[in-house]
């Protein structure tokens, strides 16, 4: 793992820096590359544009680690509103939810109760809105799976995320395949100890391919698993394309997923080739930790952002 990655992930946890950044106009200008807006209206407009370009969406109201029941309730309410707006606007979008945003730090029961409210509302929508539970740092992995498995029996419109960098993930994927639930497969965005996660990219990539192969195998197909391949890695994407072609798997039996603002060219290319592509669209005022994790993934983004900020801030430039 690179030092830069460690630095950015450590900075993502700094509350004072987060407070400073979220009140700073220049920092917000930079973050807009990855964040669709601060309000639901702005985000819905972005979803419309993405849909018009053939891209599906999953919506994330930014926020994590709330420390009071009132904040957890407010975050859940925001999702209820987003579900109403998704259906009223007639856009093609699911939602992605972080359990710490809806009270996981206050206990499993709080997050589970909030998620149940969201799932009930999402299931009532016509058609139902799909709810994906994001996976956070390893302190939460076991509890997140626990809540998912408890609710999966009651709701069809819920899915979870698995992280290829964790050693445990092959076992988690077996359990998901057994219940016919297709996870979003990602590499993993947090700083984890070598005792639980592969530190080297080559090992994480190899794990990703093993897990992808498993998600497309005969048992997974029989059980109706619909995998979401979440990566911007061209080598993995090419491998998946070749693998599904070889196995005669339809292009509508799975989807690729990428983050808003990352590899827009590749997103469009995959749509043009007839693959399903879903974009993860975050919005809201609590964008700081999410943004820092994006910089951690690709420190070159820092130079890109500095360059574009300098040009934006030049006298006479439009902001
Ligand atoms: C839809 C979606 C949902 C996700 N949900 C979760 C989640 O719930 N939990 C979690 O831990 N992680 C999540 N992630 C993040 C994921 O774990 C990785 O940190 C992130 O996707 C970077 O890994 P990569 O697979 O793109 O490959 P990498 O090996 O990091 O990158 C491969 C190539 O992709 C491009 N690229 C990658 N990141 C960027 C970037 N930020 N800016 C520009 N180019 C970039 C570069 O060309 C790079 O060489 C999600 C990712 C996606 C796409």
Interval between CA 126 and ligand 1 midpoint (Å): 31
Closest ligand 1 atom to Cα of 258: 53
- How many whole angstroms separate alpha carbon 119 and alpha carbon 156? 9
Give which of 39, 49, 117, 37 is closest to 85, Cα–Cα: 39
| Domain extent at residue 263 | 35-286
In a mutational test of the pocket of ligand 1, which residue from 58, 64, 189, 201 has the highest number of ligand atoms less than 8 Å from its CB? 189
Q: Is residue 242 part of a domain?
A: yes
Closest ligand 1 atom to Cα of 257: 1
Q: Is residue 103 part of a domain?
A: yes
pLDDT digits (tens, 9 = 90+) for 197-229: 999 999 999 999 999 999 999 999 999 999 999
Q: Is residue 295 part of a domain?
A: no
pTM (2 decimals)? 0.92
Give the CATH number for residue 54: 3.20.20.220
The structural domain count of the chain equals 1
Q: Is residue 301 part of a domain?
A: no
Q: Does the annotation count 134 as an active-site position? A: yes
Q: Is the CB of 233 under 6 A from ligand 1?
A: yes
Atom 37, ligand 1: residue with shortest CA distance? 232
Q: Does the annotation count 293 as an active-site position? A: no
Q: Is the CB of 161 under 6 A from ligand 1?
A: yes
pLDDT digits (tens, 9 = 90+) for 156-200: 999 999 999 999 999 999 999 999 999 999 999 999 999 999 999
Q: Is residue 262 part of a domain?
A: yes
Q: What DSSP assignment string belongs to 200-257?
A: SHHHHHHHHHHHHHHHTSHHHHHTT---EEE---HHHHHHHHHHHHHHT--TTSSEEE
Instruction: Give the mean pLDDT of the chain.
Output: 92
Q: Is residue 261 part of a domain?
A: yes
Closest ligand 1 atom to Cα of 165: 17
pLDDT band for 318, please (50, 70, 90 cuts): very low
Statement: residue 109 has pLDDT above 80? yes
Q: Is residue 294 part of a domain?
A: no
- How many whole angstroms separate alpha carbon 80 and alpha carbon 78? 5
pLDDT digits (tens, 9 = 90+) for 69-93: 999 999 999 999 999 999 999 999 9
pLDDT digits (tens, 9 = 90+) for 8-47: 888 888 888 888 778 888 888 888 889 999 999 999 999 9
pLDDT attached to residue 304:
64
Q: What angle do CA 221, 243, 211 make, to 5 degrees?
A: 65
Interval between CA 318 and ligand 1 midpoint (Å): 31
Residue among 5, 56, 184, 214 flagged as catalytic: 184
CB atoms within 10 A of CB 56: 19
pLDDT attached to residue 317:
40
Residue range 251-266: average pLDDT? 96
Q: Is residue 252 part of a domain?
A: yes
In a mutational test of the pocket of ligand 1, which residue from 138, 298, 308 has the highest number of ligand atoms less than 8 Å from its CB? 298
Q: Is the CB of 284 under 6 A from ligand 1?
A: no
pLDDT band for 105, please (50, 70, 90 cuts): very high
Residue range 247-259: average pLDDT? 97
């Amino acid at each position: 793992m690179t030092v830069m990655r460690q630095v950015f992930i450590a900075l993502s946890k700094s509350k004072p820096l987060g407070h400073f950044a979220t009140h700073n106009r220049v920092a917000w200008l930079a973050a807009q590359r990855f964040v669709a807006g601060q309000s639901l209206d702005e985000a819905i407009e972005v979803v419309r544009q993405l849909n018009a370009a053939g891209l599906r969406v999953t919506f994330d109201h930014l926020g994590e680690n709330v420390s009071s029941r009132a904040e957890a309730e407010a975050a859940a309410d925001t999702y209820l509103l987003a579900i109403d707006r998704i259906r009223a606007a007639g856009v093609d979008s699911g939602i992605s939810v972080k359990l710490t945003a809806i009270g996981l730090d206050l206990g499993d029961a709080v997050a589970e109760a909030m998620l149940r409210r969201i799932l009930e509302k999402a299931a009532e929508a016509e058609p139902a809105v799909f709810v994906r539970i994001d996976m956070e740092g390893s302190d939460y992995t076991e509890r997140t799976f626990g809540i998912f498995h408890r609710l999966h029996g009651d709701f069809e419109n819920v899915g979870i995320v698995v992280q290829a960098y964790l050693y445990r993930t092959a076992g988690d994927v077996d359990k998901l395949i057994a219940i016919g639930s297709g996870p979003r497969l990602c590499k993993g965005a947090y700083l984890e100890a070598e005792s639980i996660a592969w530190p080297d990219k080559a090992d994480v990539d190899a794990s990703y391919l093993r897990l992808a192969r498993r998600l497309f195998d005969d048992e997974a197909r029989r059980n109706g698993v619909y995998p979401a391949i979440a990566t911007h890695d061209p080598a993995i994407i090419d491998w998946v394309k070749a693998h599904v072609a070889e196995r005669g798997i339809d292009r509508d039996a799975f989807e690729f997923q990428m983050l808003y603002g990352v590899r827009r060219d590749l997103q469009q290319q995959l749509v043009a080739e007839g693959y399903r592509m879903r974009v993860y669209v975050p919005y809201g005022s609590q964008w700081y930790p999410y943004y820092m994790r994006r910089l951690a993934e690709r420190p070159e983004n820092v130079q890109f952002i500095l360059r574009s900020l300098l040009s934006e801030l030049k006298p006479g430039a439009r902001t």
